[in-house]
Amino acid sequence: MRRRVMSHNAKRMPRRLREAHTKQMEKSGLPPKIKRPSRKYRRRAHNLLAFTYNKRKQSRGWLETHIWHAKRFHMCNKWGYRIANFSNDRNFRAAYRAVSKYCIIQDVSYYSCIELIGPERLLIEKLNVHAQSRLSFGARIYLSGLREGNLMFYSKNGSPIGSINFHWQPGDKTVKKAIWIWVHPAIYDQVLVEITTTFGFVEISNNTRDQHHGFNRSNNKLFTSDDSECSMELLRSSFNRFRIRGPLSIAVLIDTLKLARPTFDDHNNPIDKASNSWLEAWYGNSRNRKTSEVQCQVYDTMKKLNSPGQFPRNSILAITVMDPRMSLPQIKTKTIPCAGNAGALIPKLPDNSSNSPLFEKQIRSLIQTNGQPIKNLQQLRSNNLVPGIHNDGKIDESTIQKVPIIIIQNPGSDCDGRSIAFSSGLDVIVPSGWGLPFWIAFSYRCARPIGLTEYESMTLENLMLNSPDVRHPDTLAYANDAADVKNQLTNKYFKLPPNKRINYIKFSITSPFACQWAILMKEWTDRETFQVLRDRTRLDQLNLILKSFASRNSRQKISVDLKSILSSDDCFLIPVRVRMVSKGRPKKFALMCLPTVNDLKTSKAPVESMRSDPLKRKRKLTKIEQKVLRKRASKRRLIEGDSKKVVDNQVLRKLCLPECERVRNSCDREVMGYIVQGDFSFTQSNGIGWGYIASTSLFRLIEQETNKILVRNVQTRQYRWATLNVIC
């Protein structure tokens, strides 16, 4: 065998005989192998980008930072994109440590921007059809364009779709204005259909593939209304959006981005030696030059702030910065915050400080198509007296490309019982084609990148349910996500061997992998239709009642007419949070149950009684029948044998996990609702969770004059005591 291998591979020969053996092989007519010793010498990066990568993008869209994330994160298919799910290292505690003491960063460029242009009055009139909150699209606080708004978007028939963010372009009311609506991809199609129907838009451009920047997205679609007063452009491929959270978000931003201060000649034209620059098109206007000076002053003031909570709430600042590739440190360096003024505040931003060149379509196109390749940057570095990345500060700034960006403040948590401004930070919007340079620049300042899973754990800590990433049970997006999760968990369950599967029938769990809201509401109110209660006034009153029960002094208990808040006929799901009294961690799909009078007297956590499994014998007989049928099919070589096996597997699955028919009285204690998300909280040092309960069950709990409930996870029979509060 060794001699046979030697005849094909000269390396198998002893070193002293290898050269002679190779010459003998060439004389015998065998061509010598010409491949390089390692694959890194044979790689063709251009071919990978041109053929392999573009082929992979056909089914799922890639973000500009996809390749960076794919090397460091577990990726998942969500909402038509390939998105980073969680990091390869164990970083739940590290992510919390970063968001509480330093900063984290997440690429949320899968958010889609919809631009509407038209008369301000007409835009407000049409869009208010889809809003029910007091601070809607036409609120004065948002019309100036200095703040970003957030609201629940409704369809014309009044059914909720999901939360969206929006902000106006600053400008004069007499001319047409633009509004940008940022939509989560889970609800993008629904929102687009509703807006198109309301305005009567008709598409006037075709959809083509964008291959210039190496990512698979669609070029912008253009729509116009019948009367041509309003128009719509889908800016899905025009921006990248980064979410930065943590107390040192501003310090990292200041250290990463160097402000561009354009200089002008005698004719007020910007001096810029970069090729195909957009500066002349923007700064040729004297009003834009004055706006730029104001923006630079605000950015300089930001350097004195210690926390993003000192910046105006949801405020927007547009600035122009230098190419971030020209200010990279030699190694990853953690940003040290400057000694700022802890009491410093910026009460309000000046007018037009949010005006950005990114609102202009022509300038956006120039920025996206005329980015300098890395080859040009290396040429600039080589012209230095001492070449190298550490001497980038010596390069003439007029030769460095400038990039306009938009900074949006996020106030963080304002939930009762949470630390104020926890997870506050900034959102940074950069033009398309510049996503990876900015991302690498932030990562070189040790901003910790996170994925979807880490952000979900952050949502558990701050309980900000108005985020577009949170979907509520009365929306179609929630139903779609719940169906996907149920299929994934069911398949994972049946991949286990039978002796490793939990028998949920014996545990009195009728739906272990989904929350059956419709069945729950039907059993409590005799109606399957329901809505999530979003009226903050009524939620505050309900929370005040529950808090009064927790008071030790009974005189502090308040008397509120419950019927004035809710009617017993209302079909509402109440958002609530639970906190475990002692030990225990509530998990997803856990049951929130109503305690009995005896439970409240003894204060001892009960244990669910073990139920019998009526389907056990039927499962056993079905398995025997399947075995016999498969044996006959294999002997007779029947073609339909495989399809028969699939049908039989579905029958067995229904016998192991039967369809849910009841929820409220499925176990020893009446079920009030479900936990949507729960785990151990680092901020509370306790097990916490949040979910929804039926409004009628809350009536029963208030009648007992307590805010204590029983929580039971689906994989155990042990109940745990927890305190209940309403999320306002």
Estimate to the nearest angstrom the gap between the alpha carbon of 154 and the chain centroid.
Answer: 21
Q: What does pLDDT average to over the chain?
A: 85
**pLDDT tier at 709, thresholds 50, 70, 90:** very high
Span 321-377, pLDDT tens digits: 998 988 888 888 898 877 666 566 777 888 889 999 999 988 888 888 777 777 877
Q: Per-residue pLDDT for 313 more than 50?
A: yes
* pLDDT at residue 436 is higher than 80: yes
In this structure, the answer to whether residues 550 and 698 fall within a common structural domain is: yes
- Mean pLDDT of the 244-256 span: 93
Query: Within this chain, do residues 593 and 722 fall inside the same structural domain, yes or no?
Result: yes
pLDDT mean over 412-422: 74
Q: What is the pLDDT of residue 273?
A: 60
Same domain, 200 and 138: yes
The pLDDT of residue 561 is above 80: no
Average pLDDT over residues 10-22: 84
Question: Looking at the structure, do residues 223 and 245 belong to the same domain, yes or no?
Answer: no
Q: What's the start-to-end Cα distance of the chain, in Å?
A: 77
Query: Could you tell me if residue 641 is inside a domain?
Result: no
For 135, what's the count of Cα atoms within 13 Å in the CB-facing half-sphere? 14
CATH at 683: 2.40.30.110
Residues 480 and 535 in one domain: yes
- Domain end call among 440, 462, 484: 462
Average pLDDT over residues 112-120: 94
**Poorest-confidence range of 180-189, 262-271, 304-313, 578-587?**
262-271
DSSP three-state, residue 230: coil
383 or 63: whose pLDDT is higher?
63
Q: Is 338 domain-assigned?
A: yes
Range of 147's domain?
A: 112-205+219-235
User: What band does 631 get if pLDDT is binned at 50, 70 and 90?
Assistant: confident
Q: 458 versus 553: which is more confidently predicted?
A: 458
Task: Examine the domain organization and report whether 255 and 224 are in the same domain.
Answer: no
409, 429, 462 - which closes a domain: 462
Residue 207 has pLDDT above 70, yes or no: no
Query: What's the total number of domains in the chain?
Result: 4
For residue 96, pLDDT over 80 is answered with yes
Write the pLDDT tens digit of every residue in 23-65. Answer: 887 777 766 566 666 666 556 666 666 667 777 777 788 999 9
- Write down the pLDDT at residue 548: 87
Per-residue model confidence as pLDDT tens digits over 674-693: 999 999 999 889 999 999 99
Question: How sure is the predictor about 642, in pLDDT bands with cuts at 50, 70 and 90?
Answer: low
DSSP string, 530-589: -EE---HHHHHHHHHHHHHHH-SSGGG-----HHHH--TT--EEEEEEEEESSS----TT
CATH number where 150 lies? 3.30.70.1400
Element (H, E) at 593: strand 591-593
- Does residue 641 register a pLDDT over 60? no
- Whether 481 shows a pLDDT value over 60: the answer reads yes
SS3 618: helix
Tell which of 462, 496, 519 closes a domain: 462
Least reliable range by pLDDT among 112-116, 301-305, 339-343:
339-343
Which of the pair, 275 or 146, is modelled with greater confidence? 146
Residues 535 and 603 in one domain: yes
Are 493 and 544 found together in one domain?
yes
User: Is residue 75 exposed (0-12), middle (13-18) or buried (19+ Cβ within 10 Å)?
Assistant: middle
Place of tokens 């620059």: 277
391 vs 13, residue with greater confidence = 13
Task: Give domain status of residue 631, yes or no.
Answer: no
283 with 270: CB under 8 angstroms?
yes
One domain for residues 243 and 225: no
The pLDDT of 306-316, averaged and rounded, is 90
Rounded CA gap, 221 and 335, in Å?
Answer: 41
Whether residue 294 lies inside any domain: the answer is yes
Tell whether 210 is covered by a domain. Answer: no
Position 702 in a domain: yes
Distance CA 576, CA 543 (A): 9
Residue 209: which pLDDT band, with cuts at 50, 70 and 90? very low
| Whole-number Å distance between alpha carbons of 704 and 214 | 62
Same domain, 436 and 448: yes
Q: How many other CB atoms sit within 10 Å of the CB of residue 120?
A: 20
Q: What is the pLDDT of residue 211?
A: 42
The answer on 254 and 225 residing in a single domain is no
Same domain, residue pair 449 and 540: no
Residue 445 lies in a domain: yes
Q: Edge-to-edge strands of the sheet including 104-107?
A: 316-322, 402-410, 425-431, 239-245, 104-107, 448-449
Band the pLDDT of 576: cuts 50, 70, 90: very high
Q: What is the pTM of this model?
A: 0.86
Q: Band of the pLDDT at 622, cuts 50, 70, 90?
A: confident
231 beta partners: 117, 224
Nearest to 128 by CA among 147, 161, 154: 154
Query: What share of the chain has pLDDT > 90, as a percent?
Result: 49
Residue 507 lies in a domain: yes
Q: Across residues 722-727, what is the average pLDDT?
A: 94
Q: Which of 120-129, 272-281, 492-501, 657-666 is predicted with the least confidence, judged by mean pLDDT?
A: 272-281
